[in-house]
Amino acid sequence: MLTKQFNFRKIHTNRHFGLTTGIFLVLTGTFSNALALRLIEGSVIDSGGRPVDQCTIIYELEGAKGGVKSTVTDFTGEFYINDLPDGRYIVYPVGMKNQAEETSIPSVGTVKPMQFRLNYLIPIVFNPQIDSLLSDSVRKVINRDAALTLNPDAAKTITPAAASKINPSAAEVITPKMAKSLSSEEAKIISKEEASKQ
């Protein structure tokens, strides 16, 4: 009698555990899908491959009155649009509707991030002369404040490693010779006074 009672409890416990686990998995899966499948995400880069921040992204819900809305890219050039109502969307950077991409909410399967590439370089400094002298690899990484005062001859020769770490205050006195040989560590710690002595 004790054995039967024990077996009944074991079976009852297993059924309870299985039911609880099943409900948890269904709810977890539903929650994950709701998050993953109601999202539009992507990025914008310029023709040199550099992320474009503060780029306006238009997204239109087809057939909806007042369905045209917008967001902007962050400093990494990426954008995320959450909690979207059901429907088909057209997405594109402002002024680039000819490169628009389409997607549906909710979507089936994994949401693939969109990527838009501008057909021109975004200037990183207000001085067009300096900007035109920087290589694409340097343009992607250089500190904007440093680029504002960089010597034009140094702009031609500075390495990406040094450009990514350069001290903005020292940039204006970096010589072309220094720009060629400056390591990333040296570029990070060198002061204006030290740079002017070399």
Same domain, 112 and 91: yes
Q: Whose CA is closest to 21, among 29, 10, 33, 32?
A: 29
Same domain, 112 and 142: no
Q: Which residues contact 194 (CB under 8 A, 6 or more apart)?
A: 170
* Residue 82 pLDDT exceeds 60: yes
Question: Is residue 181 a part of any domain in this protein?
Answer: yes
Please give the pLDDT value at position 28: 46
Question: In this predicted structure, what is the pLDDT of residue 101?
Answer: 94
Tokens 């975004």 belong to residue? 122
**Do 113 and 44 fall within a single domain?**
yes
pLDDT of residue 70: 93
Same domain, 13 and 57: no
Band (173; pLDDT cuts 50, 70, 90): confident
Q: Is residue 99 part of a domain?
A: yes
pTM listed for this prediction:
0.49
- In a domain, residue 122? The reply is no
If one counts the domains in the chain, the total is: 3
193 and 132, same structural domain? yes
Q: Do residues 92 and 32 both lie within one domain?
A: no
Range of the domain at 51: 40-117
Least confident of 30-34, 78-82, 121-125: 30-34
Same structural domain, 106 and 60: yes
Shared domain check, 61 and 31 = no
Residue 149's pLDDT is 76
Rounded to whole angstroms, the Cα distance separating 36 from 113 reads: 12
pLDDT of residue 124: 58
Same domain, 44 and 28: no
Report which of residues 84 and 176 the model is more confident about.
84
pLDDT of amino acid 44: 93
Same domain, 46 and 30: no
Q: Last residue of a domain, which of 57, 88, 117?
A: 117
Tens digits of residue pLDDT in 132-157: 788 877 877 777 777 777 878 888 88
Regarding whether 167 and 108 lie in a shared domain, the answer is no
Same domain as 183, residue 154: yes
Within a domain: 123? no
- The 3-class SS string of the chain reads CHHHHHHHHHHHHHHHHHHHHHHHHHHHHHHHHHHHCCCEEEEEECCCCCECCCCEEEEEECCCCCCEEEEECCCCCEEEECCCCCEEEEEEECCCHHHCEEEEECCCCCCCCEEEECCCCCCCCCCHHHHHHCCHHHHHHCCHHHHHHCCHHHHHHCCHHHHHHCCCCCHHHCCHHHHHHCCHHHHHHCCHHHHHHC
pLDDT of residue 48: 77
Question: What's the CATH number where 96 sits?
Answer: 2.60.40.1120
